[in-house]
Structure 1
Amino acid sequence: MSSLSTPTTLGAVEIRNRNVMSALTRSRSLPTNIPNETMWNIINSVLMEAQASLSPRALSSANNSINYHAYCRTEWPHTPGIYTAEHVAAWRKITDVVHAESAKIFSQLWHLGRANHPDMPEQIPVWAPSTIAARGGKFRTLPGQPGYATPTELPDPWFIIEQYKKAAINAKEAGFDGVEFHGANGYLPHQFFDSTTNKHTDMWGGSIENRIRFIREAVEVLISV
């Protein structure tokens, strides 16, 4: 237990102890997807009220949408974004609080891909590697609570990769100490890697090397920032 209070590093980022608050998706960005005072108060409470030596010194922002097509999903409407100047300004208030407590914060960059619905706000089209709908889902804020719809195939995903880069630039401007690439749980990067959801026959699909290309290219642009 004593080691939990000792310093360590996450890549090039030094933190004062080994307690990290993991990403937790919550519908806090009401009434829009811009971070707000409620989120500020939660972060402040986590850092100020915990036992000083064990208070987390590194935090992850949870799902931060990289563009308006990435925003909002089944159980979690009103998740925050990182793709406008308003997002940057709002996040800066939160990162300032974190840094005032000598802690670090990372922005988890997120794109839903097919795990969305075209009738959700700002959702036309819903992009995915192939026109294969996800199973299940229940969009409680839509009439009839529909399941997932058939997505629109991404013919060339380079523009999404550029949006990851822009999101990283915005995160840096907003004062984040780093970014976390959300590549799991059936979202867009996972959809490219999975042969059951990626039917591309070009450089983006087929072999493992091609299916992992989207993830590799996106991570490389994040590293470049």
Structure 2
Amino acid sequence: METTSHTTSRAVAQAPAAESGQQVPSARRTVDGYLLAPFPWYGLDEAFTGPRWLMQVGMAADGAVEHGSIGHGDEPSVRNEATAEDREKFAVVVTIAANPSRRSADGTGLLEATSVSSAAWLAGVGLLSFTWPGQMDHSLRDDWLEQQTETAWALADDLAGPDWSTLSLPVDGVPTHFHYRESEFGWVLAGSTQEGVHVGAYGRGLSAYGLGFAMIKDISAYA
């Protein structure tokens, strides 16, 4: 798969959430990393009128911002007794720079290219970070998460496979093709924009079919 490093992506894709189920206040997140990105950020379009909040950015070894996430709706928490009725309603939009295979900043190695699969992978792992199957013992969650993460990796590497369907959603007002899948934990989708970035999204409680995406004009407004 053309994507960012498997290990690095797993670490940065997961939003900060306490396993006790407590939410991490938005006040602890800053806009600084987002402002360093050389690419535009995407979120839900103006049809979404609920809360919006910063999550985190992912950086390369040289400090360059490679991707990041913007949350919409309820701030999700990891809960081990959540039911479909009482889970938060949220959607998270992941933006990842569309980069070809390229030399690292120090010239010593080759950075892997990014693709729509990269966005699908980050979105899939992001959804897992807020998922904890009911009745699962705390000590087993790490093993479950590792197993499910490997599954998300395999699924993102096979976007033409039977686990994915296609969905057309507006991006900056233009109908855009997305790869889409649902699971018992929520939904994941991924596609590309005309602005040189790939967009992934994941959520629960909000239908993906009615969403639209738009470039964020001023990310500093989230500070």
- TM-score range (shorter-chain normalised) is under 0.3
TM-score (norm 1): 0.25
Structure number with greater Rg is 1
Higher relative strand content: 2
Higher RCO, Cα 8 Å, sep 6+? 2
Q: TM-score, normalised by structure 2?
A: 0.25
